[in-house]
Amino acid sequence: MDIILPSEQPAVIKIIGVGGGGANAVNRMIVSNVSNVEFFAVNTDSSALRKSGAENKVQLGEDGLGAGGDPLKAQKYAEAAEEQLKDMLSGTDMVFITTGMGGGTGTGASPVIARISKELGILTVGVVTKPFEMEGPDRTQYANNGIAKLREFTDALIVIPNDNIFSLMDEKTPYEKAFENIDDVLRRSIESITDTITKTGVINIDFADVKGVLSNSESAVIGLGDGQNFQEAFNKALNNKFVEGKDITEANKILINVSYSTNNNFTVEDMKNANEYVKKECKERPYLKIGNVIDNNLNTKMRVSIIASFQKKNEPASDLFENARKEEKQEIKQVQQRIEMQDDKNRDPFAQPACEVHKPRRL
């Protein structure tokens, strides 16, 4: 008798750059070959849209002349384009909305796109910047209002103040170059999540795991670090402060993804150290999952990304996680995991992890 196993469908992930800054950030992702995702640019400004490298473009408003720095105008344009935006979003598992907050289009249209996305049941994550202080108090005010609205409609919102990135740059950095660096931080933040989901191979942190951590969170932060060994990369990721928000040690759920080439090793001791750190330093005992990905582009480098989320009050982390788990229909995979865990049981020196820990398997 032939046994037919259900095929595993890859998660459909769309990255939507809204407004001028959002579109530029998406362009940077395209140039840097962020893979296994679809790119979209949404703008009120048709000339900026023409320059976008995204394969899919949506113009808001009829005249293509921009929103003139007016978020309300952009919001109305986006609401009028609801059907077009629904078409753009349908058939998607996860959406990233990225924008520079503080102007008209990104600030006004992003919350509308997020609302539609959430209504379609899509895991919706915002990755946005706050304007430089030197851009003036009005932009900051617009940005704060836009961020508050966007937070209402996203599962998780990652906020990156431009000044945090600027503080790492030389003051003589040309203005344009400063935005290139900011686009790059947006790229790395999003890529750290998409790579975690799509680059499988050794131990999986899959879409359901990411959904479990980011769904309906109050906020989320990301830490990224590269190093010559795990500890160096892990320390850098823990101290990587460009994202606004609470400290990782206050998180309710944490995913740690370790990427390295076959020239390198993620050892049992490394796993133990990460586990111990979370046990010792985190205030509440968070849900923890550690995964790894083999990426031969990294050569001798190791890369650690930490995705940490903070739960809304009155929503126990365990319930949310259970709900996300229930939605996972890959029963065959779960059976396989159980069998593998059984096989590994005697070899697993960490029988009492802080929470759930997946031990790397050597190929």
Residue ranges that bind Mg ion, judged by CB under 5 A: 19-20, 45
Min CB(105)–ligand GTP separation in Å: 4
Min CB(48)–ligand GTP separation in Å: 7
What x/- string results for residues 13 through 42 when contact with ligand GTP is judged by CB under 6 A?
------xxx--xx-----------------
Cross-strand bridge partners of residue 203: 292
How far is the CA of 224 from the CAs of 27, 173, 238, in angstroms? 21, 23, 8
Q: How far is it, in rounded angstroms, from Cα 115 to Cα 153? A: 5
Min CB(262)–ligand GTP separation in Å: 34
* 54 within 8 A of 24, measured Cβ to Cβ: no
Q: Which stretch binds ligand GTP (CB under 6 A): 64-72, 83-91, 268-276, 329-337?
A: 64-72
CB of 17 or CB of 245, closer to Mg ion = 17
* Residue 13 neighbours by CB distance under 10 Å: 23
Structure tokens at 31: 């140039």
From the list ligand GTP, Mg ion, none, pick the one residue 179 interacts with, judged by a Cβ distance below 5 to 8 Å according to partner type: ligand GTP
Min CB(66)–Mg ion separation in Å: 5
Helix (H, G, I), strand (E, B) or coil at 244: strand
By beta carbon distance, the residue nearest ligand GTP is 100
What x/- string results for residues 117 through 146 when contact with ligand GTP is judged by CB under 6 A?
------------x-x---x---x-------
Strand order in the sheet with 38-43: 56-59, 38-43, 13-18, 94-100, 123-130, 156-161
Exposed / middle / buried, residue 33 (Cβ in 10 Å: 0-12, 13-18, 19+): exposed
Q: How far is it, in rounded angstroms, from Cα 108 to Cα 77? A: 9
CB of 17 or CB of 19, closer to Mg ion = 19
* 306 within 8 A of 248, measured Cβ to Cβ: yes
From the list Mg ion, ligand GTP, none, pick the one residue 21 interacts with, judged by a Cβ distance below 5 to 8 Å according to partner type: ligand GTP
Q: Helical H runs in the chain?
A: 19-31, 46-51, 71-80, 82-89, 105-119, 137-153, 162-166, 175-198, 207-214, 230-238, 268-281, 317-327, 331-344
CB of 24 or CB of 264, closer to ligand GTP = 24
- Contact with ligand GTP (CB under 6 A) among 16, 52, 57, 66: 66
From the list ligand GTP, Mg ion, none, pick the one residue 223 interacts with, judged by a Cβ distance below 5 to 8 Å according to partner type: none
Q: Where along the sequence are the contacts to ligand GTP (CB under 6 A)?
A: 19-21, 24-25, 44-45, 66-67, 69, 74, 100, 102-106, 129, 131, 135, 139, 162, 179, 182-183, 186
